[in-house]
Structure 1
Amino acid sequence: MTAVPARRREGLYFAIRNGKLLAGLAVLVPLLLLAAAAPLIGGQDPNAYVAAPASPPSAQSWFGTTMFGQDVFSQFVYGLRSTFVVGALGGGLAAIIGMTIGFTAGYRGGLVDEVLNMLTNIVLVLPALAVLLIVNAYLGVRSVGVQALFIGLTSWPWAARAIRAQTFSLRSRDFVDLARLSGVRTWKIIAREIAPNMNSYLFMTFILLFGGSILIAASLDFIGLGPSQGISLGLMLNNAARWSALHLGMWWWFIPPGAGITAIVGALYVMNVGLDEVFNPRLREL
């Protein structure tokens, strides 16, 4: 009973001393707080025309204004919120699907494993962009939720494969055999015996899915397949490119969203490397 708290204390000890993890958090947390406070510091409508068009950064408009007089800072903070939301929803949904299929296939094996593995391979080779173009033609209004749903439904296969492999190696352990012989149901064995031994791996998988969802959403936004309402960092880049901000020297329009996406995804991946060092004793730096 004392082994789990001891491992937690050991993990916390190395976590607060891991430079990569702390550096990632130092970048991610302020951006997350900025996104949470968007209505307080960015006004109620990020697309409102509030100042002179194409104005450079100033005391009145910290990040300047767009070609139409919209405040870039207001759009940036609201764009951060959309970015975190689509990352959390898309990454979370992909993690849930990947874990469900990975655990089931890895533990049950046999025909169940073959069927789920075939499903995984089908989704893995599915041309996601082509499917989105078709779906986009039939959707009158696109939202962050719909975008996150699509990302979650198409980005889980690699996670399912990785979790299946881990589950396959754990299902033959003595403690799993003992639970099976005791008559414990399958889902309880997975939840109580297998999953707890993969907590660190599952957490790092979610972080990777979170960052991947943000990159996919930004790419879709940039090519014009993002939400038709609201604002996001990818849509800011799309608008800046559409109205020739680079050629006009309006660097304040496209640098903040580009830097925001890079900072969030970069921080997540640096954190993931740090967490790998924390959870893997062979990689720890004493």
Structure 2
Amino acid sequence: MATLFRAIRHNGKAAAGLLILIFFLVLAAVPDLIAPGNPATITNDVSLGISGQHWLGTTGFGQDILVQVVHGARPALLIAVVSGLLATVLSVLVGVSAAYLGGIWDDVLNLFTDVVLVIPTLPLVVVIAGYFSHHSITVMIIALVVTGWSFGARQLRVQALSLRNRDFLEAARVRGERRSYIIMFELLPNMTSLIVANFLGAALYSILTASGLEFLGLGDVNSYDWGTMLYWAQNQSALQTGGYVWAAVPGLCIALLGTAFALLNNAFDEISNPALRPVRRLRVAS
């Protein structure tokens, strides 16, 4: 762990992505300390600009934009992290099991992965989220997991196939270790970098897709997060009536959180891939 943090500290992309992510984690952890108040509270100050009382102004309904933005960080991160984690777990279960077990298991699980891969993702997630939109965040997470695991499973299967016949795994088989032990304690630790990259990619997909669905009104429009803020800003023609902050700030937060996951994903690949590090050092030296 110490080696990982040391590597992140010396990688500009990783450090920038981690700082952005920590900023939003703080917002999600203690929103009442940063912007106390209820995001649903309606005041008499309708469509107010930036002021000392309302630092980012108010919405067309009289709600404080700063309070909504800060309190919206928690559901956004919850969707990204939980969806990314569950999709990654499913990818590991399907992809690694198929590669290591081989035979009929590989054929069946690989066929299942291929079928999910060829299904158009956007229409499927729109149908799921739209049909069950009244169930809010739970169904949103399920929809994102169902549509977001297959690509990672294919990547993990390929990596596991390349490791399946390595000497250290053969040695574990000769010792008489169980298949579950070999997968958990011999195979998966050697795939850590790819699993982490898979999680970061799934989290990025989740936050962008969830925000897009909420913007279209396919989430719970009565909740308060960045996607629904964009929905209500568009619904009330905020850009046409001068409410630029109402539309711009939640959009900027979504973009920054997505950038954090993307930077960490790219940087982690550079950190964990031995083929990239010498090339980059040679370029710097020249």
* TM-score normalized by the length of structure 1: 0.91
Which is further off, 128-137 or 215-224?
128-137
The code of the aligned residue for 1:224 comes to G
Structure 2 distance, partners of 1:150, 1:130, is 11
SS at match of 2:51: coil
The code of the aligned residue for 2:273 comes to N
- Segments of structure 2 that go 5 or more residues without pairing to the other structure are 282-286
Structure 2 distance, partners of 1:130, 1:197, is 36
Structure 2 distance, partners of 1:167, 1:39, is 45
What does the per-residue CA deviation read over 1:16-36, in whole Å, with 9 as the maximum and x for residues that have no partner?
211111111222211220121
Report how far residue 130 of structure 1 moved: 3.6
Pair 1:276-2:269 in alignment: yes
- Alignment match, 1:213: 206
Report how far residue 283 of structure 1 moved: 2.4
Structure 2 distance, partners of 1:14, 1:93, is 27
Report how far residue 229 of structure 1 moved: 3.7
Structure 2 counterparts to residues 72-87 of structure 1, below 5 A: 72-87=65-80
Structure 2 distance, partners of 1:233, 1:239, is 10
- Alignment match, 1:196: 189
Q: Tell whether the 8 Å contact from 1:86 to 1:144 is kept in structure 2 after alignment.
A: yes
* TM-score normalized by the length of structure 2: 0.91
Q: 2:257 aligns with which of 251, 264, 270?
A: 264
- Alignment match, 1:240: 233
Pair 1:227-2:220 in alignment: yes
Structure 2 counterparts to residues 30-179 of structure 1, below 5 A: 30-136=23-129, 138-139=131-132, 141-179=134-172
- Alignment match, 2:243: 250
The code of the aligned residue for 1:207 comes to L
- Alignment match, 2:284: none
SS at match of 2:134: coil
Structure 2 distance, partners of 1:226, 1:137, is 7
Structure 1 distance, partners of 2:126, 2:14, is 38
Report how far residue 142 of structure 1 moved: 2.4
The code of the aligned residue for 2:153 comes to A
- Segments of structure 1 that go 5 or more residues without pairing to the other structure are 1-7
SS at match of 1:281: coil
Report how far residue 136 of structure 1 moved: 4.9
Q: In structure 2, do the counterparts of structure 1 residues 39 and 172 end up closer, same or farther at CA, with 3 Å as the change threshold?
A: same
Q: Tell whether the 8 Å contact from 2:133 to 2:220 is kept in structure 1 after alignment.
A: no
Q: In structure 2, do the counterparts of structure 1 residues 9 and 252 end up closer, same or farther at CA, with 3 Å as the change threshold?
A: closer
SS at match of 1:172: coil
Q: Tell whether the 8 Å contact from 1:141 to 1:228 is kept in structure 2 after alignment.
A: no
